[in-house]
Chains A and B, each alone.
Chain A
Amino acid sequence: MTEIDQISPLLEIRDLSVRFKTDEGEVEALDKVSLEIKPCQTVGVVGESGCGKSVTAYSIMRLLPRPMGMISNGRILFQGKNLLDLSTEEMRDIRGNEIGMIFQEPMNALNPVQKIGKQLSEVFSLHQQDDNHQAWLRSIDMLEAVGIPSAENRMHEYPHQLSGGMRQRVVIAMALACKPSLIIADEPTTALDVTVQAQILDLLQNLQKETGCSILLITHDLGVIAETCDQVCVMYAGRVVEKGVAEKVFASPQHAYTQDLLGSIPRLDGHSKARLKTIEGIVPSLFELNEGCRFGPRSCRDHTEEQLSQRPDFKEISSGHWVEACPVCTQT
């Protein structure tokens, strides 16, 4: 047991299940997902589109579209409180104040017809009851903190006048405005160039050092996870298939899905024009999920009927390294 193991988690998700009602029937977007984030940690959630990464983030913020999306099972404990029991007003207090969120596409997260200054100072006047002048001054400080040059002039500009990287900085400034203890970053760099991505990741890491907040980083880029995260959690078709300390998971991935995912990325130091490992087929539709090993039907490994119909246990194979123990997919 190291020190960090004894600290109680800041956020703890236990057996979270989310169902969506659609025209074609009900689907289960998350199936008993468990996850925890310790103070000052960065936890990465990685997976392909449709695996439930964003749904996890939106469930924590209680921002699932209603009435289609509903949490059917589980608890989300934030600093010991179950967020699912809070009233709408109490939850509104937590959002922004205690948990900040950075959205994927900064253009869609900002109001296009309001100036940056107004949108940003609104955070202070709503959450911290600042008067207008004070909110304005604090907003300028915040913009400077995220590295926007000539912040005072930027306050009078509209989102479309800023570049993609600058807009993302504004969104980060908004998320960090009230010094939240947890930041949920939903694909914060996907829409950006690699060079700008490097800037934003650097910024997030520096801000984390200064404020000591925890970050839940959602991305499909394993490279980003490897560079920034302490813990990683691999999701597939609504379930967590593997989670643990980033170094361990990357060094010895146990689940076949994690292995295949890592194998399918072209590497800078790899051989040019060599064939890449691929995962055949696509992520299964949520309508045709089996109860057992969900990667089984796609993995080109022979599974028995029983393995496909009975949910494998989620086992701790070494300290802090958990894996969904399907006997076929976790063979070494």
Chain B
Amino acid sequence: MIKGSEFLRLDNLRVHFPVRGGVFKKAIGYCKAVDGVSFSLKKGQTLGLVGESGCGKSTLAKSIVRLLRPTSGKIHFKDYTTDDIERRKDFCKSVQMVFQDPAESLNTRMTVGAIIQEPLDIHGLGNRDERPVRVKELLQKVGLPVSATRRYPFEFSGGQRQRIGIARALAVSPELLVLDEPVSALDVSVQSQVLNLLLDLQNELGLSYLFIAHDLAVVKHVSDIIAVMYLGKIVEIASAEELYSNPLHAYTKALISAIPVPDPSVKRKRIVIPGDVPSPIDPPPGCAFGHRVNAKNYPASLGMPLGLKEVVADHWVLDCPCCIEEG
């Protein structure tokens, strides 16, 4: 890949949480929530991140916006890394986050106007007269009436609240939006409204998205590139069309087959994965997915360093003997 076109690049990012125990609360183990994730994102692109709950999607999102500190690894953003303290303010302005549950991520005691204006106050954008104008402009952009400024979040429905969350994230004119399950709490009809809004905003403002969801159909709809995560690691990453038409990893295949298709005439074989995602505190040795499904070749993955391998151009998959069928 050409270096100049990269916008966001994660370099072997790890986020480990210490598990404390004993009298002195010493770290007796580590929960490896994100364990060596690397990918890059170009300007104007959308990267979709899918995986089951507990696979580290949200931890990854939070560490990108630096709500969590990575244990190791670097996040490169444009021409600097997020460790660069002098550029921290720039970074916070360029990268904003939209949270999953709009009811919980909006302060119930602030008016909508105050909520959207707060990032402007913090970053010192505009003056006292300009800020309310900007707030109104943002409300119109996300499809809410200007009269909303004086109302409170509880007066709005779930979809409208998510629009408020998006308006707040857009207030400081960011270049990258990290969307952590932005539509999972919404009804289908409202979900499609919000997805359309996100696509329109991307076209209009040239935004890049990191879109996290557990619904592969939604992710496929909005993304250029999809990364599939399992137990803190990316197991497969490819363009949306390629991943859907030619999944290589056994986990991706199972994930795609598990999505219910809204058409009763389509009869497919559901691949049912037994069991649950193993705990990231004490992960099984070797290939974590092979261990779960009790794959035939699982013993072959023991003691092997598992890394991503480029199988087809720009289609990377975790090189594991038990999860990839030859041929």
Interface of A toward B, CB cutoff 8 Å? 48-49, 163-166, 193-199, 201-202, 220-227, 229, 246-247, 250-251, 260-262, 264-270, 272-280, 282-283
Q: Which residue of B lies closest to A260 (CB)?
A: B189
- Cβ-defined contact, A268 with B258, below 8 A: no
Interface size class of B (residues with CB under 8 A): 35 or more
Neighbouring B residues of A199 by C-beta, 8 Å: 272-274
- Cβ-defined contact, A275 with B189, below 8 A: no
- Cβ-defined contact, B258 with A194, below 8 A: yes
Neighbouring B residues of A283 by C-beta, 8 Å: 187
Query: Which residues between 52 and 74 of chain B lie within 8 Å of chain A, taking CB atoms?
Result: 52-53
Neighbouring B residues of A201 by C-beta, 8 Å: 260, 270
Interface of B toward A, CB cutoff 8 Å? 52-53, 157, 159-160, 187-193, 195-196, 199, 214-218, 220-224, 240-241, 244, 254-266, 270-274, 276
Neighbouring A residues of B258 by C-beta, 8 Å: 194-195, 197-198
Q: Can you show 21 pairs from A to B with CB atoms below 8 A apart?
A: A48-B190, A193-B214, A194-B216, A195-B258, A198-B257, A198-B272, A223-B260, A224-B260, A225-B262, A226-B261, A227-B270, A247-B264, A251-B264, A261-B189, A264-B189, A265-B188, A268-B216, A269-B244, A273-B222, A275-B199, A279-B193
Partner of A276, one of B52, B221, B261: B221
The smallest beta-carbon distance between B44 and chain A, in angstroms, is 12
- Cβ-defined contact, A202 with B189, below 8 A: no
The smallest beta-carbon distance between A199 and chain B, in angstroms, is 5
The smallest beta-carbon distance between B300 and chain A, in angstroms, is 24
Q: A195-B52, A282-B157 are in contact. Are A273 and B260 (CB under 8 A)?
A: no
Q: Which residue of B lies closest to A194 (CB)?
A: B258
With A and B bound together, what is the CA distance between A274 and B240 in angstroms?
13
Q: Which residue of B lies closest to A203 (CB)?
A: B272
Q: A198-B272, A246-B264, A278-B196 are in contact. Are A266 and B189 (CB under 8 A)?
A: no
- Cβ-defined contact, B195 with A250, below 8 A: no
Add 10 more A-B contacts to A272-B220, A272-B222 (CB < 8 A). Answer: A194-B258, A198-B272, A199-B273, A220-B188, A223-B261, A264-B188, A264-B191, A268-B217, A268-B220, A279-B192
With A and B bound together, what is the CA distance between A223 and B260 in angstroms?
4
Neighbouring B residues of A279 by C-beta, 8 Å: 189, 192-193
Neighbouring A residues of B260 by C-beta, 8 Å: 197, 201, 221, 223-224, 226-227
Neighbouring B residues of A246 by C-beta, 8 Å: 264
With A and B bound together, what is the CA distance between A264 and B215 in angstroms?
15
The 5 A-B pairs with the shortest beta carbon distances in the complex, nearest first, are A223-B260, A266-B221, A264-B192, A279-B189, A276-B192
Partner of B196, one of A220, A224, A275: A275
The smallest beta-carbon distance between A206 and chain B, in angstroms, is 11
Neighbouring B residues of A268 by C-beta, 8 Å: 216-217, 220, 244, 256, 259, 261
Q: Which residue of A lies closest to B260 (CB)?
A: A223
- Cβ-defined contact, A272 with B187, below 8 A: no
With A and B bound together, what is the CA distance between A197 and B217 in angstroms?
15
Neighbouring A residues of B270 by C-beta, 8 Å: 198, 201-202, 227
